Amino acid sequence: MRMALELAELGRGFVSPNPMVGAVIVKGKRVVGVGYHRRYGEEHAEVRAIRDAGDSARGATMYVTLEPHNFHGHQPPCTEAILEAGIARVVVGALDPNPKVRGGGVRRLREAGVEVVVGVLEEEVRRQNEIFFTFHERGRPFVALKLALTADGRIADRWGRSRWITSEAARERVHLMRSYHDAILVGAGTVRADDPLLTVRHVFTERQPLRVVLSRSGKLPCDARVFGGDAPTLLLSVREPECRPEGVEIIPFSGAFAEALEILRERGITSVLVEGGREVATTLLTEGPLDRIHLFIAPKFLGGDFGPLAKALPVGEALKFSVESAEVVGEDVLMELVADG
């Protein structure tokens, strides 16, 4: 199953809104076939592994990270491919979280006489596909917040400038993070202060995420870079925008982040990477929903009071997260924080 997880990881950034899935077929003590879901719309992991195994699939065991689907979508049911190949035993990492199909694949295989084991390395499978599980179990996009801080906890200098707090290596990692998400979101303040392009660069990608800008006042520069380029842009504004850039979709909204998420969910957006600014970060940190924080810490000191939170909290009410990992990226440290519970 660990091999199947490693295979599944190869699809990261290419399969959304589908999950990453890996499959390994074993006969005796020998691996006879492997496969993974390479990109959205293409063959699923199980089918690729069966083709790789050929006749050796008959009577073998398949290890697959996620429950094989039992319905006709962009691809025919994987359960039928498994049955036609004569697979005798299927070991599943986790059931599909989609309530419309959950358990259907396992049930179909068992009814056909295939031995099925469920729940092997389930937590690892769920963590790998946290976006997919959040979207289907919680009914909303997965929300990640990217923060870049100095060692003394500042996100900008006293004039509101943040370019560049982190090193070039850290900024390249952010481009990789962008490629993994369906949408990139910022507040109007970030557009005015930094004029970001918010596209994926420096790494290979087959698509550009939707760029989302939240504005209360509607005051945005008409020539902002986020309104140009090849990537699509959605502007959610409380007040009528002062300008309506060509090609930019504009939707009025109340200003509530939950409403913005619902608008994105209705469009099939499964994940959002929030890159600022301070007002949006404060909303996420104090009100949520927030699933993960990518926290870059640069070995620099700026002083002042421009921290990521616009409001002060007593120590007893401090916001708590769990540290999943920490690594050095270029000159900086990247901490992965996950929400408790």
Q: What residues are annotated to the active site?
A: 46
Alpha helices in the chain (DSSP H): 2-9, 45-53, 78-85, 104-111, 122-128, 130-138, 168-179, 188-194, 257-266, 278-287
Q: Pick the closest to residue 20 from 166, 98, 128, 160 (CA basis).
A: 128
Q: For residue 114, what are its two tokens?
A: 């295939």
Strands (E), 28-88: 30-36, 61-66
Q: How far is CA 239 from CA 58, 181, 220, 277, 303, in A?
A: 63, 28, 11, 19, 35
Rg (CA), the chain: 22
3-state secondary structure of 338: strand
Rounded CA-CA distance 175/198 in Å is: 9
Distance CA 15, CA 21 (A): 9
Tokens of 101: 């199909």
Nearest to 212 by CA among 227, 196, 234, 230: 234
CA–CA separation, 21 and 260 (whole Å) = 29
Q: What is the DSSP string of 248-264?
A: -EEEE--S-HHHHHHHH
